[in-house]
Structure 1
Amino acid sequence: MAGNTLPFKSNYAVSSKIEPFYKGGKVQISHDEQYIFCTCGPRVNILQIDTGKIIHSIEQDDQEDITSFSLSPDDEILVTASRALLLKQWDWKQEKCTRSAIHNVPVASMTFDCTSTLLATGGCDGTIKLWDVVKQYCTHNLKGSSGVVHLVEFHPDISRLQLFSSSVDCGIRIWDLRTSKCICVLESHYSAVTSLAFSPDGQTLISSGRDKICSVWDLKKKAVKRTVPVYEAVEGGVVLSGKSDYSQMGVKGEGLHFVTAGSKGVLRVWDSSSARCVFTQTLPDAPALNTEEGDLDPRSLMHLLPMPQSNRLATVTAEHNILIYQMPALTVQQQFVGYNDDILDVKFLGKDDTHIVVATNSSQLKVFELATNSCQILYGHTDTILSIDVFRKGSMFASCAKDKSLRLWKMDLKSGRVHCVAQGSGHSNAVGSVACSRLKKGFLVSGSQDCTIKMWDLPDPLPDVGCEPVLMTARLTERAHDKDVNSVTISPNDKLLASGSQDRTAKLWSLVDMSLLGVFRGHSRGVWCVQFSPVDQVLATASADGSIKIWSIQEFSCVFRGHSRGVWCVHGSDGLVKLWTIKTNECVKTIDAHQDKVWALHGSSKDDLMVTGSADSTITLWKECEMKQQQELSNLLHEKKYLKALGIAISLDQPHTALRVIREIRQQEDGVQELEKTLLKLRQDQKESVLRFSVVWNTNSRSCLDAQAVLQVLLTHLSPEEILQYQGTRTHLEGLIPYTERHMQRIGRLLQASMFLDYMWQKMRITGGKDR
């Protein structure tokens, strides 16, 4: 729950976001190896591997979760299936649905043949359908499987016209597509078959299963050649081609070798003829798996995907991380985090702020390279990390966690790799906050739920990167508060320390001898964050009582009070970031940052960037807007060029600015007509944004009339079919209903009250007339 109070400029716009894009389910890599396709609820997100950006998001209109999808081998056609039994064919580059069909039951699996003309779908009722994608009709209806068909795969030699499938009976069926008959059932597994991989000549099949075996099949004889005990639940298998040198991976001779991925969280290479494991991947940065709970470990592998053109492999972990390895050394090339959970803290890192380090609701730290969104995961802590702080030059930082410890990390500025160089323990409860010295890499201060503050000297010299971390011992321990210490911060000159506590106070300490200089009293609930001003002799405190206070550190008096709704370090539980001017006690800017609590905020070393992290699992990077753009907006409003002004507000993704434009329009004499004319001239994507903004405005009684005015125009002039094409429309409309009902009830009560007043006025007039 650490944060920052900074001398921010008041104009920021969203520069980029790191958002959840994968929460489990199927993952597929395009055949040109440029894109990763993965499911996220009702969407298939398409991630560009080079940049780490989501470039397309294919969403089902029915908002039902996608149960399966498949990309054609020519990378042109995407087909999705949803729980609503709809099959949709997409021109994914245009995000355009080109065809729809109805399936009788939910589709559990699907795959294209190598010509991109035939699609096989496996249903939850044991049926398999084949579809001619060009002529657009169902060509086969294969029956005979029992239960859900969770795996379908065409034989790579199209002249064979064979389809392989597996269902809950654990058998592998081979279908002759000329006769639509099952010609054989390969029986070896006694648990779910998870993958099928063919040898380059197409004569051998390797199947993997959760029964901890892989089977090597002779497809001519349709019999098992060898059973390979792998001693883990296997989720994916890939056959190595004979074209490359894999001697680094233990491959000798010309036999068939294959790679497995599963519950142990590492890749292993097997010789199919001897059934021996010839190579086991080592993960030096990661702690050993708990063998008793190996199957449940978040690092266990759920998918293994070949990337043959570039001789790479991709794995997907149970905690939704996608890693790309270069063979044969199996070095990590890129790593993408599909889902971050709550963002508890975030800081800029590296020379020129090239990276950010992020603490999520996890025991691992994540270091993102901002240019590519590629991520390095740092192992070491054994419980949730609560706070991080970075030294001034940006190459070293500290973290602390619920595991009662803190760790010191160092980045190699050339490679960008981060390693733990020191660790410290001694607190008797969770360590909630850590602060680094400001002038030089001299010391750390930590605050804990055990009510104490500890000061730690950095090891001298620091161990080299790659060496075992050294132990740090606390130079000084002080019982500082009566309850949890939530936040500690060090002054810019390294002479003062401030602490904030659950006991509702903040305290100022001398770092020379840890003597108490004074106590800041005035908050009615716990103090969650304390921060020194970089320029003035003041201290900022933020509390769960919903207030921000600025204190003079000379007189210990409050010189500023700001209010928000549940404030944590100038960022609030309502998803807003507020910028205040201390001189006038005014909020000069409200940045609509997130959909949930904003736990973390940090400014770059040049003050031109800001990063925020939230419980909505999103990290947002903000860039300072040019004053020119803001001035242009004011000029446009003055000149009554409302359409262009609204367009700028939408492009900046600023609901508050858009609301200002809407209000300006409605205040005109012909406001109703002007609003209608302006809104109907917007592009479809702009109308989508205005609809999304209206949902937010509608939650507040002060802006609900503006929201309703916008909705009246959209709902009156646009057809339901057009509105339903907008992204997330159903969710938005559902979000409008409860607040609109509440507003209507309030208006109803107001109308009743006004009628009563009218009645009373009439009575008074009658009575007064009689008296006269």
Structure 2
Amino acid sequence: GVFAWIIEEHPLLVYMSALPFTPTNSALYQTFHCTESYPSVSGDSQHTWSSLSLVMPANMMGVNSVAFSPEGTRVVSGSRDKIIRVWDSITGAEVLEIHGHTMPVGSVIFSPDGRQIVSGSYDGTVRLWDSETGAEVLPILVGSEKVRSVAFSPDGTLIASGSADHSNSVRILDVMTGVEVLALHGHEEAVCSLFFSPDGTRIVSGSRDKTIRIWEVMTESTASEMRGRQKAVQSAGFSPDGSRVSGSWDETVRVWDAATGDEAIPAINGHADGVQSTAFSPDGKKIVSGSLDATICIWDAATGAEIAKLFGHNHYVRTVSFSPDGMRIVSGSWDDTIRVWDVMPVYEVLPTTGIHPGDVRSPLTELFRDVYSVAFSPDGTKIAFGSKDAVIRLWDSTISTGFSEMRGHWSGVLSMNFSPNGDRLVSGSLDMTVRVWDITKGAQVFHILRGHPQGVHAVVFSLDGTRVRGVFRGMRKPVTNSD
């Protein structure tokens, strides 16, 4: 575009122009915004980064169930309008609509390999669908008035369904044939929630009879039973290692020892109305809960302490789930939206240790006052800063030892770029040189590349990482092998 060369040569001016509009309590604002040098926004302003990253609206009459695909790129939803939808979890676009149920869809989930979707509906059927085409693979009539919950076994060979009928049973179905393999009896009212243990040998179920049961699949027996207080158990699930069970009762979230049935921690309070859905994070360290109070809470699974409360829905939150990498949460609500949230807000990952918020003379602020260039590593764990003082400083978010430095230039570092594999960094400077660095050793890897008298204003690696290109005002340096 018309302004591309200006942005390319003066990226920090662009960043500084946006800085006054960043949340005032964020580390980015408090570290880099100097009230003496830059304007401030008066009046009402955003104080923190929002965790909300996507909203998928549709006329669904309320969302009952959502789940991520195993690779985390898709979300499946089941809603009261009888339709199953598949969404792109990155863009929020609807990629597939699946029709077939004649009553509201109560529960949906992807198969472990992501190729199929199983759904349970109030029409009394469990159905298996191709997740790419939406074609029906297998319809299963389970003889129930309502199917409220479905779950895949970890190996994808079995489906568990929870019913609301005269039997109030948990049925285990063969994926290939749809034949009922066994039925687990014991609940006295509707089964609201189901989950297989990670090894597939047990099932946890939550019921309107105010109990959670853990079943041994092979023996068809109840291994343990956890009794609640006054209300139905709307959600139950295993931790990733199978040692704990989470569940919801009234306005509380509870965690039990899966072997003994004893409460692992005291009841977790924080919601103002009934908890409808709970789930462990993939590392087992967090629990997410969705409530009738329209909020989502993230809890420390070991202590029950509240980590975050997410606002945005304006009706019941009926379903919540973590992404496979644990970095996002998807929620479904009766406000006719599906929302995707970032678990860790952006401001928590910046290098703020030792900085006093708002101190414009803090060491880090002084260090970055004359930064000419910034580069992120491909995996996002490292940031390189090139400065007027000719020093390249590297911050690694995975370690706590602060900054490492790479010295060699004798004038300001105007441009930097990481290699595609993140092992090397190329830098261009006002000293008219291009240098390539091994970031693990902090040393140059081969001879200095001489540039143009006006300095090297942009540098980049080739896609395969074997060559670098330096760009100067009005001309370009020939492509050079970086091996």
TM-score (norm 1): 0.34
Q: Are 2:297 and 1:276 aligned?
A: no
C-alpha distance in 2 between matches for 1:163 and 1:266: 28
Picking from 158, 168, 171, the partner of 1:129 is 171
Seq. identity, %: 20
**C-alpha distance in 1 between matches for 2:261 and 2:346:** 34
Distance verdict in 2 for CA 1:107–1:63, change over 3 Å: closer
Residue 121 of structure 1 deviates from its aligned partner by 0.6
Question: For residues 57 and 287 of structure 2, what CA distance do their matches in structure 1 show?
Answer: 35
Matched, 1:25 2:83: no
- The separation in 1 between residues aligned to 2:164 and 2:337, in whole angstroms, is 28
- What is the alpha-carbon distance in structure 1 between the residues aligned to residue 179 and residue 300 of structure 2? 43
Give the Cα separation in 2 of the matches to 1:31 and 1:59.
Answer: 23
What 5-or-longer segments of structure 2 have no aligned partner?
1-55, 348-483
Separation (CA, whole Å) in 2 of partners of 1:144 and 1:127: 7
TM-superposed CA distance for 1:19, in Å, is 5.1
Partners of 1:189 and 1:213 within 8 A in 2: no
> How many residue pairs are counted as aligned between the two chains?
286
Contact 1:228 1:272 in 2 (8 A): no
In 1, Cα distance between equivalents of 2:268 and 2:278:
14
Distance 1:330 1:171 in 2: 39
Deviation at 1:149? 0.8
C-alpha distance after superposition, 1:432-462 (max 9, x if no partner): xxxxxxxxxxxxxxxxxxxxxxxxxxxxxxx
Of 127, 131, 134 in structure 2, the residue corresponding to residue 88 of structure 1 is 127
Instruction: Report the CA distance between 1:325 and its aligned residue.
Output: 1.7
**Take 1:330 and 1:109, find their aligned partners in 2: how far apart are those partners?**
35
In structure 1, the residue matched to 2:264 is 225
2:56 maps to 1:56: no
Letter in 2 for 1:192: A
The 3-state SS of whatever aligns with 1:25 is strand
Offset, 1:265: 4.0
Give 1:143 shift.
1.4
Deviations 1:506-550 (A, max 9, x none): xxxxxxxxxxxxxxxxxxxxxxxxxxxxxxxxxxxxxxxxxxxxx
Quick check: 1:236 aligned with 2:277?
yes
CA gap of 1:189–1:31, structure 2 versus 1, over 3 A, is farther
1:326 counterpart residue number: 342
Please say if residues 313 and 324 of structure 1, whose CA atoms lie closer than 8 Å, have aligned partners that are also in contact: yes
In the alignment, the residues of structure 2 paired with residue 87 and residue 263 of structure 1 have an alpha-carbon distance, to the nearest angstrom, of: 26
- Cα distance in 1 for residues equivalent to 2:215 and 2:151: 15
Indicate if the aligned counterparts of 1:195 and 1:207 stay in contact, CA closer than 8 A: yes
Distance across 2 between alignment mates of 1:90 and 1:54: 17
Q: Distance in 2 between matches of 1:18 and 1:301?
A: 14
- Report the secondary structure of 2:325's partner residue: helix
1:151 to 190, 193, 197: 193
Spell out the pairing of 1:624-639 with structure 2 (5 A cutoff). Answer: none
1:157 and 1:228 mapped to 2: Cα distance?
27
Aligned partner of 1:307 in structure 2 is 323
The question of 1:191 aligning with 2:231 is answered yes
2:172 counterpart letter in structure 1 = L
What secondary structure, in the 3-state scheme, does the structure 2 residue paired with 1:119 have?
strand
Change (3 A) 1:119 1:330: farther
Q: How far does the alpha carbon of each residue in 1:59-89 deviate from its partner, in whole angstroms, 9 at most, with x for none?
A: 11x6443343332121112223444433332
Q: Aligned runs of 1:296-375 on 2, under 5 Å?
A: 298-309=314-325, 311-329=327-345
Structure number with bigger Rg: 1
Superposition map of 1:86-485 within 5 A: 86-105=125-144, 106-125=146-165, 126-158=168-200, 161-209=201-249, 211-232=250-271, 233-240=274-281, 242=283, 256-277=285-306, 279-281=307-309, 298-309=314-325, 311-329=327-345
Q: CA deviation at 1:140?
A: 0.6
Amino acid at match of 2:299: W
Higher helix proportion = 1
**2:198 and 2:241 in contact (8 A); partners too:** no
Tell whether the 8 Å contact from 1:66 to 1:80 is kept in structure 2 after alignment.
Answer: yes
Distance 1:117 1:330, change over 3 A: farther
Superposition deviation, residue 313 in structure 1: 1.4
- C-alpha separation between the residues in 1 aligned to 2:177 and 2:246? 33
Q: Which amino acid aligns with 1:52?
A: G
1:221, distance to aligned residue in structure 2 (A): 2.0
Mapped to 1, the partners of 2:247 and 2:265 lie a distance apart of 11
1:22–1:39 contact (8 Å) kept in structure 2: no
8 Å contact 1:29–1:35 — kept in the other structure? Answer: yes
Instruction: Quote the Cα distance in structure 2 between the aligned partners of 1:45 and 1:274.
Output: 36
Distance 1:140 1:221 in 2: 25
1:20 is displaced (CA, Å) by 2.5
Matches within 5 A, 1:646-665: none
Aligned to 2:78: 39
Distance 2:117 2:293 in 1: 32
- Matches of residues 716-727 of structure 1 in structure 2 within 5 Å? none
1:18, 1:214 → 2: CA distance? 28
Aligned-pair CA distance for 1:330: 7.2
Deviations 1:692-728 (A, max 9, x none): xxxxxxxxxxxxxxxxxxxxxxxxxxxxxxxxxxxxx
Residue type of the alignment partner of 1:276: A
Contact 2:106–2:120, Cα closer than 8 Å, also in 1: yes
Q: Report what 1:616 is aligned to.
A: none
Equivalent pair of 1:30/1:75 in contact (CA under 8 Å): yes
| Matched AA of 2:329 | L
Distance in 2 of aligned mates of 1:208 and 1:100: 31
Q: Distance in 2 between matches of 1:139 and 1:81?
A: 17
- Aligned-partner SS, 1:26: strand
Return 5+ residue gaps in structure 1 as ranges: 1-16, 244-255, 287-296, 332-772
Q: Counterparts of 1:259 and 1:86 in 2: how far apart (Å)?
A: 29
What's the RMSD between the two structures over aligned residues?
A: 2.8
Q: Once the 2 structures are TM-superposed, how far is the Cα of residue 114 of structure 1 from its aligned partner?
A: 1.1
After TM superposition, the runs of 4+ consecutive aligned structure 1 residues lying more than 6 A away are: none
Q: Per the alignment, do residues 91 and 212 of structure 1 end up closer, same or farther by CA in structure 2, a change over 3 Å counting?
A: same
Q: Does the aligned pair in 1 maintain the 2:72–2:323 contact within 8 Å?
A: yes
Distance 1:104 1:201 in 2: 34
Per-residue Cα deviation, 1:583-626 (whole angstroms, up to 9, x for no partner):
xxxxxxxxxxxxxxxxxxxxxxxxxxxxxxxxxxxxxxxxxxxx
Quickly say closer, same or farther: Cα 1:282–1:226, change in 2 above 3 A: closer
Equivalent residue in structure 2 for 1:69, among 108, 132, 137: 108
Amino acid at match of 2:280: V
Aligned residue for 1:27, secondary structure, equals strand
1-side partners of 2:154 and 2:107: how far apart? 19
Q: Contact between 1:217 and 1:225, CA under 8 Å: does it hold in 2?
A: yes
After TM superposition, give the deviation of residue 323 of structure 1 in Å.
2.0
1:208, 1:235 within 8 Å by CA — same for their partners in 2? yes
Partners of 1:81 and 1:241 in 2: CA distance: 24
Amino acid at match of 1:175: W
In 1, distance between residues paired with 2:131 and 2:304? 42
Q: What SS class does the counterpart of residue 143 from structure 2 fall into?
A: coil
**Which residue in the other structure is 1:338 paired with?**
none
Using the size of structure 2 for normalisation, the TM-score is: 0.54
Who is 1:247 aligned against?
Answer: none
Per the alignment, do residues 78 and 172 of structure 1 end up closer, same or farther by CA in structure 2, a change over 3 Å counting? same
